Chains A and B, each alone.
Chain A
Amino acid sequence: MSEFINENPEILDDSQLPTRKNDANDLLLGISDSIANLERKNLLLKIDNSVESEVLQNIELLDKLLALQPVPLLVSDADENESTDMEDDLEESDPIDRQEIFDLIASISDPEHPLSLAQLAIVNLNNIEVIDSGKRDEIAHVIVRITPTITHCSLATLIGLGIRVRLERSLPSRFRIVIILTKGSHQSENQVNKQLNDKERVAAACENPQLLGVVSNMLSTCK
């Protein structure tokens, strides 16, 4: 690593990276509302993009005062367990999609350059695949194809390891993670692929404190 073999890679600006359209719902978390009210609030957020705005607070105040009714809300523990299924309908669920995976790994820093993997186009949105039924008791898959900046990149395995550690820490255990190189992007594609998806070898790598240190460094920029 003494000298950069690949000193001038193409760099993408942060603003060019794919992002999720700003989800106004995120700002309104946890306020279990009627659909109509939610729609209103979304309209509001388009005009004034902050939960601090007076109008929004006024509306919430009104809703709160309207909800002040003498209905006993004490629910015993037994009831609660039964109602979990109902809850699923109340709280709309967001599926795990490729943008979410991308967001997880895009900000990992490259071991060579002071840039993120997404900026170097090592990972990109179209090369991520998610197969997930959304059911908690079914196995799901994530396939990430990475593109090293040059075909003889010696650090492809390290980058792959970083991505794997990040995903294994971040995804529920029902996910199986596959990390491979995009076709034709590396001289020794098969060997690298094999190494990246070999459970034993990954586990061994994670027990090497020095290697884990390097990986931690790469992950330290994760947002």
Chain B
Amino acid sequence: MILKSLVDSYLANIDINKEKTDELGSSIANAINSGDFKILDVIINLKNEFISEDEKKRQQSLHCLSNILNNLSSATLKKNELNVIFNFYQSKIDELNNMTEILSGFNSLTTMDSVSMLEISTLLNIISNEYEPSKFLTPTRYQTFLILSNIIEKYKIEMKEDPKFLELFVSTFLHIANGEKDPRNLLLSFKINKTITTNFKNIEQFAEDLFDVLFCYFPITFRPPKDDPYKITAEDLKSALQSTIASTPLFAADAFSNLTDKLKASSTVVKSDTLSALNECINNFGAKYCLTEYVPLWNAIKFELMRNSEGGDVGLATIIPGNVNINSDVSNYQLAINIVISLARVLSEFDINAFNKFFNYILGELKPNFKYNKDLKQSSTVLSALGSVNAQSFNKVITNSLPLFLQNTSETNQLKLIIMNLSFFFDSYIAVYGSAEKDMLNNTVIESSLTPYKDEILMILGKALTGSSEVEVTLRTLSIVQFTKMIKMKEFLSEEEVSLIVQYLSETILEDKNKNIYYACLEGLKVISDIYEPIVYEISLKRMLSLLPNEINATINLSEGKTIEKELILKIILDYTTSRHCLVKESIYGICEKLYEIAPLENSNNYCFILITALYTLLENNISLIKDEEGKEIKNTIEDRLLSTLINNSSILNDNHNLNLLSIALFFINASSDRSGHQSALEKINDLFIEKYQIFNKHSRLVIPYTKLISGLDKDCKFNNCDKYFESCIILLQKHSDEIVQFNKLGYLELLMVMSNKWLDEKYVSDSLDNLDWSNLSSINLEILTWITKALVIKNSKYSAGPLEKFVNLLENDKVGDFVAKLFEVFVVDIGSYCSKKGISRSNNVKVLYKQKFFNYVFPEIVSKYKLVTDLNIKSNYLTALSMILKHVPNLLLELVIQELVPMLLEALKMQNADVKISSLETLNSVCEKNSVLTTKYFHTLVPLLLKLLKKSNTNNVRVRLLTMQLLQLIALSVPINYSQSMKNNVLTELLDTLDDPKRIIRKKGIDTRQIYFEIGQTPSS
């Protein structure tokens, strides 16, 4: 028979293969569900085992039956079948060792559809009378909780109708819940408890017992075992317990008194649990209970609020509107404040008079503090918390508290306190009314009880800022911060008042030299321009721009004989306009206007320089902000005039920096403008420079702006006759190489690069490279070759390999090798107006990873050649070329070749060339930071080499000496002590020289380095 074999197989697998028994159990159950067998057949099959003398066998048979029942669907059993099985289990109840299986069977039965009320009641009676929880292990007890939990879920309606049944249930529950300790059972116990208290009335008689069976666990602590199968966390237990305690007002009296008792505990953990439980109770029990309890509650948390151990953190408590989440990370102080807020909210929602009573009580207690200047901060926080609930409470609080401390005084400390306290009430305002946002401005003002004090507050803050001495940094910073906060308060200030604040802040930022105040003002102005950009423009930016003088040497006078440098004004403008559309645009216009006026003046080079710098920085910082339309507008407004100013004024045209920077500024303007206009722009530029100024016929400084301007244009523009101009450019350079000045030559070379990178065909460029005379070693020819090759390199062109190989070969040349070595830097150097940057990708052909490709090609070539030559001068050429490249290659790339690289770097330290040394030292510094093993390996070679670099000489310049000492420090910290100890005295002696170095910065570094070496091997003192 199949069933027989299944059952036997089940019995055989018990305790051996749990998966197998589960599988068998469910397949038998399925067969019963589908009517293939009857449950009674199972019992018959197990009959022998049920009555066996062997207890083990009896247990196994019960296990089997319970498992099958557990898998049955609830509709399968008929009433009479169920009754038989129920009675069967009941008869077994005295077999204590099999209790788990029996209870599990009962549990399955309670979920069946055909179970009767009578049987449920009987079961409850059995559990409460014949089952003694303390005698059984956790899994057994778990079954009883499961049974009760199932019953209460299933029979809520019956319990509501039948008080006797409910009574039986509750007393059974109390019976099993008493003394429970297992976390899994407790979670169920709390859940059942909560279901009882939240679903049924008429349980007052049990309230105390139910509360006791809960509260005895408070505050609950639990550390989960290592591999806890149930994944219960301490947090689960804690929140289940808390929410159960707070579940019903029935517990109110007990909960409040017991919890406030617990607050006297010294442990902060207990306190924190208690405080958050209290908070939840207040939120759930409702105003009726809080009304009677607020006095003892207040008295209980008062200590936490007024004398809290984290005194310094008081100000950090923030007012969180609405329901407060229980978060284990918040401080007790914050939790106590949350209680105050909850109380205030619950009471004011219930009845404003109730709130008033509560408020008056607290106010009465806190009032003396204001009189005696005691715990002001804490008192203000409490009061402002009370006011953060809603408009009503806010008004009540403000009307009663502000008069307590708000008074005009010239006493600094008093003023500081007043301003600090105000801050808390500002927070309440924001909590109640919200913060100001740009899109919701309508220049209306909410009438609140704070409104009447507005003028006085503004006056006090203004006085603190302008009326106090400049030494009072704290006070003045506080005042600025509060001004900023007031701006954030929604619909509190009128536009006139905002203007007033803007004026205060911009005057202060101009006049004050203190860093803190500068940054506070800057932050304030930024916040304000977030919301009220037009006001900041009108009041602040216009004023700053107008302060810039129209003469070169004029001093700028502020009020009261104070002066300011124009550089500082520009710095301020740059600092606070960043990423504000209107401000950026207006500053660009303003500075351009100023430039038009200044450029024609004599000796205005330096003034022009700072204006151009500011313009450049504005454009550069905001390149991603200036979008098509805006870019077009800016281009239309300023480009022509800027260009003509550039061409017509020698202060710009004949000054290398000015010409270069302004040209790049023009590049930015082109790059950020709408691309549809680029074609016509290109034609216009060509007309102007090629036709009118003939830059390809005679060399001219105007090649610089021309090159930069076309760098900014779309590479898809059609450039007619580009190849022709390319050739005439080369001819111009070759012909006039003697007379052309270096600066102009550079412009033409860059132009060659731009043209061949953007508009000329790769093949064409490569062919013209081949056609050029590589045997002509004149410097101009080499430079032409270099720059054209660069165009191919940054494009990752396949044609770049050939020319590069020739360049590497040229390093061997004893005449020009050293010059070629330096030219290697050109290949990898990033030119500001010509690199792969976000927002201007369309304007050129620069590949992001070109340096990697270049390095991977050139490095092995150089290394292998370096190893072959013996001539020191040639070796030096290779090292120089390498160090030129290293300066511009990301460190990540170097790590791959580090083993080969380090010996070469050490060689480079012996070269008599400062640039080579610097580059080598910089690379060694970054190697040393990451790879202490390698550092240790070369320690004995490296340190003596470094010590030689400390002596001042032509090639050991300040930078070399500084980097050397930095490397010495790094070495001391990264090599094992037996290494560093051996060199300690040597290094200390050699460093003595640096103490008498003419440069202060070297002396300082020397002292620091010596200190590190002094400390090597010193036993750390306690």
Q: Mark B556-573, 1 if CB is under 8 A from A, else 0.
A: 000000000101101100
A69-B742, A96-B1003 provided; 17 other pairs, C-beta below 8 A? Answer: A31-B959, A40-B609, A43-B606, A54-B832, A55-B616, A58-B832, A59-B657, A61-B831, A65-B826, A73-B818, A75-B912, A80-B953, A91-B957, A91-B999, A94-B999, A96-B1000, A100-B1003
21 A-B residue pairs with Cβ-Cβ distance under 8 Å, sorted by A, are A16-B471, A30-B962, A46-B567, A47-B570, A48-B617, A64-B825, A66-B656, A66-B746, A68-B822, A69-B779, A74-B912, A75-B912, A80-B912, A83-B953, A87-B952, A91-B958, A93-B999, A96-B1000, A169-B1011, A170-B1010, A222-B1011
Given the complex, which residues of B lie within 8 Å of A100, measured CB to CB? 1000, 1003
Whether A169 pairs with B1010 at a CB distance below 8 angstroms is yes
- In the complex, number of A-B residue pairs with CB atoms less than 8 Å apart: 162
- B413: interface (CB < 8 Å): no
Residue of B nearest to A16 (CB): B471
Given the complex, which residues of A lie within 8 Å of B959, measured CB to CB? 29-31
B832, B958, B1021: residue with the most chain A Cβ atoms closer than 10 Å: B1021
Chain A contributes a number of interface residues (CB within 8 A of B) equal to: 63
**Cα distance A96–B742 in the bound complex, in angstroms:** 40
**Cα distance A44–B617 in the bound complex, in angstroms:** 11
Q: Mark B711-755, 1 if CB is under 8 A from A, else 0.
A: 000000000000000000000000000000011001000000000
Chain B nearest CB from A12 CB (Å) reads 11
- A114: interface (CB < 8 Å): no
Whether A47 pairs with B1007 at a CB distance below 8 angstroms is no
Mark out the residues of chain A between 192 and 208 whose CB falls within 8 Å of any chain B CB in the assembled complex. Answer: none
Whether A216 pairs with B1021 at a CB distance below 8 angstroms is yes
Mark out the residues of chain B between 660 and 709 whose CB falls within 8 Å of any chain A CB in the assembled complex. Answer: 660-661, 664
- B819: interface (CB < 8 Å): yes
> Which residue from A16, A44, A172 sits with its C-beta under 8 Å from B996?
A172
**Cα distance A100–B1000 in the bound complex, in angstroms:** 8
Given the complex, which residues of B lie within 8 Å of A30, measured CB to CB? 918, 957-960, 962
> Which residue from B473, B1000, B1022 sits with its C-beta under 8 Å from A15?
B473
Given the complex, which residues of B lie within 8 Å of A219, measured CB to CB? 1011
Q: Which 10 A-B pairs have the closest CB atoms?
A: A30-B959, A213-B1021, A93-B998, A172-B996, A46-B567, A70-B819, A94-B1000, A30-B958, A170-B1007, A172-B995
> Which residue from B656, B995, B1022 sits with its C-beta under 8 Å from A62?
B656
- A113: interface (CB < 8 Å): no
Given the complex, which residues of A lie within 8 Å of B267, measured CB to CB? none
**Cα distance A124–B953 in the bound complex, in angstroms:** 36
**Cα distance A180–B343 in the bound complex, in angstroms:** 64
> Which residue from B620, B825, B1010, B1021 sits with its C-beta under 8 Å from A214?
B1021
Given the complex, which residues of A lie within 8 Å of B912, measured CB to CB? 74-77, 80
**B interface bracket (residues with beta carbon within 8 Å of A):** 35 or more
**Cα distance A70–B873 in the bound complex, in angstroms:** 15
Q: Mark B815-849, 1 if CB is under 8 A from A, else 0.
A: 01011001101100101100000000000000000
Whether B958 pairs with A29 at a CB distance below 8 angstroms is yes
**Cα distance A149–B660 in the bound complex, in angstroms:** 59
- B441: interface (CB < 8 Å): no
Whether A173 pairs with B992 at a CB distance below 8 angstroms is yes
Whether A74 pairs with B913 at a CB distance below 8 angstroms is yes
**Cα distance A32–B568 in the bound complex, in angstroms:** 26
Mark out the residues of chain A between 14 and 29 whose CB falls within 8 Å of any chain B CB in the assembled complex. Answer: 15-16, 23, 26, 29
Mark out the residues of chain A between 50 and 106 whose CB falls within 8 Å of any chain B CB in the assembled complex. Answer: 53-55, 57-59, 61-62, 64-66, 68-70, 72-77, 80-81, 83-84, 87-88, 91-94, 96, 100, 104
Chain A nearest CB from B665 CB (Å) reads 10
Chain A nearest CB from B133 CB (Å) reads 58
Given the complex, which residues of A lie within 8 Å of B996, measured CB to CB? 136, 172, 174
**Cα distance A47–B572 in the bound complex, in angstroms:** 8
Whether B661 pairs with A74 at a CB distance below 8 angstroms is no
- A171: interface (CB < 8 Å): yes
Mark out the residues of chain A between 134 and 181 whose CB falls within 8 Å of any chain B CB in the assembled complex. Answer: 136, 169-174
- B574: interface (CB < 8 Å): yes
Q: Mark B226-251, 1 if CB is under 8 A from A, else 0.
A: 00000000000000000000000000
Residue of B nearest to A170 (CB): B1007
Chain B nearest CB from A186 CB (Å) reads 27
> Which residue from B571, B832, B1014, B1015 sits with its C-beta under 8 Å from A46?
B571
Whether B998 pairs with A32 at a CB distance below 8 angstroms is no
Given the complex, which residues of A lie within 8 Å of B565, measured CB to CB? 46
Whether B818 pairs with A47 at a CB distance below 8 angstroms is no
**Cα distance A83–B661 in the bound complex, in angstroms:** 36
**Cα distance A69–B778 in the bound complex, in angstroms:** 11
Given the complex, which residues of B lie within 8 Å of A172, measured CB to CB? 992, 995-996
**Cα distance A73–B817 in the bound complex, in angstroms:** 12
**Cα distance A49–B572 in the bound complex, in angstroms:** 12
**Cα distance A100–B1004 in the bound complex, in angstroms:** 9
**Cα distance A16–B469 in the bound complex, in angstroms:** 14
Chain B nearest CB from A154 CB (Å) reads 20
> Which residue from B743, B918, B1015, B1022 sits with its C-beta under 8 Å from A66?
B743
Chain A nearest CB from B750 CB (Å) reads 9
- B797: interface (CB < 8 Å): no
Mark out the residues of chain B between 346 and 370 whose CB falls within 8 Å of any chain A CB in the assembled complex. Answer: none
Residue of B nearest to A172 (CB): B996
Mark out the residues of chain B between 280 and 322 whose CB falls within 8 Å of any chain A CB in the assembled complex. Answer: none
- A185: interface (CB < 8 Å): no
Given the complex, which residues of B lie within 8 Å of A75, measured CB to CB? 912, 954-955
- A127: interface (CB < 8 Å): no
- B266: interface (CB < 8 Å): no
Mark out the residues of chain B between 967 and 1017 whose CB falls within 8 Å of any chain A CB in the assembled complex. Answer: 992, 995-996, 998-1001, 1003, 1007, 1010-1011, 1014-1015
Given the complex, which residues of B lie within 8 Å of A44, measured CB to CB? 610, 613
